[in-house]
Amino acid sequence: MVKPEHQTRFIAGRGILRYLIGNYLNLEPQKVEFTYRDRGKPILTENNTSPPLQFNVSHSHNLGLYAFAYSDYEIGIDVELMRPVSNVLSLAKRFFTEKEASYLESLSSPEQIETFFQFWTAKEAYLKATGEGLAGLENIEVMVSSSHSKQVEVSYSNQPVTLLSLALTDNFVATVACLGDECFKFDSLNTQQSEKMLPLLPSDACHYLQLIVTDLDR
């Protein structure tokens, strides 16, 4: 049974998404229409910008995270609250590749939790970008970057993908995935703390990533 607060947050999140997309496309929020792919990924019924407006949304507890980019490349995003996980290694062996699980097992307990959520959000963001769902978990393998411990990089993927790891406030961690090589640069990040704190991306800002963070309980 869905908890009332989860339903309330879902409704709030969808309303904010319509508001934001309406601003991008100069439409009233109620006129924004979605089509859903076979595995549930929402896309715009009409997307007349060039390049098209890509978007994705994720939420964890009360935090909503929205990603937008004018790009020909699909994007996906996932956010999770880092929290204690008693069976973290069992989960890793179930959902991660053998190499990923072995790497996790080699870490200390605190590092295991942080890295687990780094890997989890990276894989989820990839799956949301491709629209494959959990059936595509084996199609990507990630590892902590050798040059930046707060970033993950792709060890294997069945298609080009760029990942960007994000450390948000209050122990939230997130990853954005873009299905292309070097879709965006780290310094192109534009994080807003409210959907009211715009400007939005200019329509000629190709591959410029905008992230908007919202509190779904306010």
SS3 110: helix
User: What's the pLDDT at 181?
Assistant: 77
pLDDT at 194 over 70: no
What is the model's pLDDT at position 1?
A: 58
What are 30-82's pLDDT values in tens digits? 999 999 888 888 889 988 887 889 999 999 999 999 998 888 889 999 999 99
From the number of C-beta atoms within 10 Å of its C-beta (0-12, 13-18, 19+), residue 176 rates as: buried
Look up the pTM and report it: 0.87
Contact 79, 125 (CB under 8 A): no
* Ordered structural domains, the chain, with CATH: 4-215 (3.90.470.20)
Residue whose C-alpha is closest to residue 124's, from 109, 139, 113:
139
What do you get for the CA distance between the two ends of the chain, in Å?
24
Residue among 175, 1, 202, 145 at smallest CA distance from 76: 175
**Between the CA of residue 45 and those of 17, 38, 105, what are the distances in Å?**
14, 14, 44
